[in-house]
Structure 1
C-alpha cells in the first residue's frame, strides 16, 4: 500500500494517489473525511498487476482520517502520515496530511 501526493500550484488542492496491493480482492475503495466516508465515492481501479489504484483531489492545508475497504473489510494504510483513535469504530484510522 502507498499514498503519493502532488501539490498543484494553480489550485489549493493536492492530487493524492492511493495504491493498494490486493491481487485476490474484487473491490477496494478509500473512505475518509475528504469524501464523507461514502464507500461509493472513491473506488480504486484494479490494475493488471493486481494492485488497485485511484487518484482524488483533496483540499490542502488540512489533515484527514481515512481507511480502505477491501472486499467489505476495513484496513489502514500502513505508511500513513499518522494514526488517530476513533471511538465510534473502536479502532485507529489512518491520517493523511496535505
Structure 2
C-alpha cells in the first residue's frame, strides 16, 4: 500500500506492507535511491505493518520494487502503474 502526504513542494511517500508478508527483511528500492537495498528498509509499526518513508519531488514519476530476503523481488499492487518490469509512482 502507498500512502502520500504533500509537504512544501515534496511528496512524502510511505511504502507499507503487512508485518510478515513476506518473511524477513524487505526494502523498497527504486530510481530515487539508486536501487540500493540498504537505503530504505521497511521497519515495524505499532499497527502490525512495516513501512519506509521516502521524500520525493512533487509532480514527478519514479520506478520502484520491493526486495526481500533471498533475492526475492516483488511488486506493489497499489502502484500507479506497472511498466512491465517495475512499479511506477506519480507524486
> For the superposition of Structure 1 and Structure 2, which TM-score range results when normalised by the shorter chain?
0.7 to 0.9
| Deviation for aligned residue 1:52 | 1.6
Give 2:3's aligned residue: 4
Secondary structure, in 3 states, of the residue corresponding to 2:24? Answer: coil
Give 1:76's aligned residue: 75
Contact 1:31 1:42 in 2 (8 A): yes
Report how many residues are paired: 89
Unaligned runs of 5+ in 1: 86-91
Deviations 1:7-43 (A, max 9, x none): 11xx321110110125151201000011111111111
Find the aligned partners of 2:89 and 2:16 in 1 and give their Cα distance. 14
**Where in structure 1 do 4 or more consecutive aligned residues deviate above 3 Å?**
47-50
Give 1:36's aligned residue: 34
Contact 1:28 1:52 in 2 (8 A): no
Find the aligned partners of 1:83 and 1:59 in 2 and give their Cα distance. 20
Deviations 1:26-74 (A, max 9, x none): 2010000111111111111024555221111111211101000122310
Give 1:19's aligned residue: 16
Unaligned runs of 5+ in 2: none
The alignment's TM-score, normalised by the length of structure 2, stands at 0.87
